[in-house]
Structure 1
Amino acid sequence: MNDTVKVLLIVGFLLVILWNLGSALYYMMVDKGTTKRTVNALTRRIALSVALILIVLLSIWMGWITPHGVGG
């Protein structure tokens, strides 16, 4: 797998996570607690965050990506 594809996959996940966080904020401001859309958006954000962490851990374990220290 190309390094660019790996970076785009991670950045894409982060953008979708931020999108869900923003939508939760929007629903919280608009709905005033009358619907469950805020909870659903935050639940999706948590699920995506866990999935991203698991994908990164799997990638490190399979050798697809290699961790490095700060600045190194």
Structure 2
Amino acid sequence: MKTLLIVGFLCLIVWNLGAGLFYMVVDKGTTSRTVNSLTKRIALSVALILLVVAGIGLGWIEPHGVHVG
């Protein structure tokens, strides 16, 4: 369930990034849809970081170190 939540957030972040690119190309700066889309992406990224930090703090997520060779 935790993994699905994180992957869902990542999918929404990528979706909003793509929407921002699409609106930037299509609207050519005449509307604020690009800014709104990228603002949503930033908000989702911050929310995801806070959720991961809270999950680690509450013990729901156990971080592991990266083992090299």
Q: TM-score range by the shorter chain?
A: over 0.9
Of the candidates 47, 50, 70, which is equivalent to residue 66 of structure 2?
70
Q: Structure 2 counterpart of 1:10, which letter?
A: I
TM-score w.r.t. structure 1 length? 0.91
Match of 2:49 in 1: 53
Q: How many percent of aligned residue pairs carry the same amino acid?
A: 69
After superposition, give the CA deviation of every residue in 1:17-36 in whole Å (9 maximum; x if it has no partner): 00000000000000000000
Matched, 1:22 2:18: yes
How many residue pairs get matched?
68
TM-score w.r.t. structure 2 length? 0.95
Matched, 1:11 2:38: no
> Structure 1 runs of 4+ off > 4 angstroms?
none
